[in-house]
Amino acid sequence: MLKEFKAFIMRGNVLDLAVAVIIGAAFGKIVTSLTEDVLMPLIGKVFGGLDFSSYFVILAPEKVPAALQGSTDYAALKKAGVPLLGYGEFVTQAVNFLIVAFIIFLIVRGVNKAMAFGKRHDEPVAAAPDPADVVLLREILAELKRKP
């Protein structure tokens, strides 16, 4: 069983997937930082100093602890277990997703262009040689045409 497990792990697809997951996690942290620390503050500034992370609706005001009454600290309310509808956080995550999707699109597009770079479309593609049986049939036909 251990031998089969080792063979499974060492297959190319599993290793490729593991590398992709690790790189994806690191890339996700970079995109999250870009979104939360650079883009969302800029977007907030454009829209009048809005901070999207603090946009939420308290779903059960009676569950807000006395110490947090009137608080606009999303993280503190969430940590206290208050039911919240954090649409500002959703907007941040949606922007995060769009950035990741766009960057992946650019990477795939670049790889496709790099793979097509070596191929020239203006040069005619050489025709594949005919199979041996087709050549033999043509010789037989030519021989039959020559005989009266």
Q: Over the Cα atoms of the chain, what is R_g?
A: 31
Phi and psi (nearest 5°) for 132? -60, -35
For tokens 């795939």, name the residue. 108
How many other C-beta atoms can be found within 10 angstroms of the C-beta atom of residue 92? 20
How many other C-beta atoms can be found within 10 angstroms of the C-beta atom of residue 52? 19
Least Cα distance to 53 among 17, 18, 29, 77 occurs for: 77
Question: Cα–Cα distance between 61 and 4 in angstroms, integer?
Answer: 56
Q: Where are the domains of the chain?
A: 2-50+86-146
Q: What is the pLDDT along the chain (148 residues), one digit of tens a residue?
A: 888 877 776 776 777 788 888 888 888 888 888 877 887 778 777 777 666 767 888 888 888 888 888 887 888 888 888 898 888 878 877 877 887 788 778 888 888 888 877 665 555 666 778 888 888 888 888 888 887 7
Q: Phi/psi class of residue 50: alpha, beta or left (left: φ > 0; alpha: ψ in -120 to 50)?
A: beta
pLDDT at 71: 81
Which residues are within 8 A (CB) of 14 and not within 5 positions of it... i.e. 6 or more apart? 8
Question: Cα–Cα distance between 112 and 110 in angstroms, integer?
Answer: 5
Q: Which helix (H) or strand (E) holds 143?
A: helix 132-146
